[in-house]
Amino acid sequence: MKGKILSLLIIISLVSCNKYSREKYPQFATKTESYKYVNSCYSVEFDNLNKIPIDIQNQFTSYLKNRLGINNFQKLEFKFGYALSDKPIEIERTKSESEILAILGQNKEKSDCDSIINFPVYSIIYELKLPEIGIDKVGINLMLDTNGKPIKDVDFPKAEFADKLIPIDSVHSELIRRKIPYKKLNIDLWFDKRIESFVWSTSTLIREGSIFGPSCFPEVKYHFKINANNGEITEFNNVQTSDYFFGSDNHYVE
C-alpha cells in the first residue's frame, strides 16, 4: 500500500512540476486543447489532409487565406488534425496512462455530446515559421464545423497586421537601451486574445531553486513587454500582475 501511495505522489509531483517546466514551452494544440471548445463523444486523428473531405479542405484553405493573408498562408506547414464527432468511441489505455489521466481529470466518460454543434468538427494544427522577425515557429490551430463555421479561431493577429509584426530586434534594442544584461535572460512571445496581438515579454531567471534542488516556481525578475503590432511598451507592475500576464497562457510560440 505504501508503495502505491509513494508512486502516486511521485506522479503527482511530476505532473505539477511539468506544468511549469521551462522545457515544456512552447505548447502546441492537442486533442485535450480541442476538447476545451467541443464536447464530443468521438475523435480520430489524421496525419494527412487528403483523409478529410475535399470540401472541408477548401473551407480551411479559404478561411486561412483571409485570416492570415496570402503570404503567411503559403508558409503554413500541416502537422496533424482531429475529427470530433457525436458518435461514442471506446479508447483502450494502459494502466499507467489511466492513472495519470485520472490525476489530470481527463479520463471521465463523455455521456452527453454538444447538441448545438454541427458535427463533425475538424481541428487542424499547422506550424508557421517567421525567422525574419525572430520567430522559429508558431503553432496555428483552427477548428471548423462541417459547414465551415469557426469553432475556434487561430491565435494570430488579423491579416492587416500579420505582415507588420515588430521583430525581436526591437526587443534587443530596448534591452540594450536599458542596459539589461543577457545572462539568464528570456525573451518570450505569446498571443494576447484581448488585444489580438503577439506580445514580446522579457524576464531574467534569478534562482532556479534552492539548496534542496530545482523548484516548480523559479524566482524570476520581469522587465517589460512589447505589443508586437504597435510597439507599445508595458512595464512590469508588482501590484497589477494579473493585467501584465493576461493572455500569457496562450503560449504557442517557439
Q: How far apart are CA 153 and CA 143, in angstroms?
A: 7
Sheet with 42-46, side-by-side order of all strands: 42-46, 76-85, 121-130, 135-144, 150-152
pTM: 0.72
Q: What is the pLDDT along the chain (254 residues), one digit of tens a residue?
A: 444 433 333 333 334 444 333 333 333 455 556 657 777 777 788 889 998 889 999 999 999 999 999 999 999 999 998 888 876 434 444 566 455 545 444 444 555 677 778 888 899 999 999 998 988 888 899 999 999 999 999 989 988 888 889 999 999 999 999 999 999 999 988 888 888 899 999 999 998 866 666 667 788 999 999 999 999 999 998 888 888 887 775 544 44
At 36, which amino acid appears?
Answer: K
Rounded to 10 deg, the angle between the 2-20 and 95-104 helix axes is: 60
| All cell numbers assigned to 19 | 506544468
Q: Which residues partner with 210 through β-bridges? A: 213
Which among 197, 167, 193, 173 has a CA at the least distance from the CA of 246? 193
Sorted by where each begins, the domain ranges of the chain are 23-88+96-158, 168-244
Quickly tell me which residue has 507588420 as its cell: 164
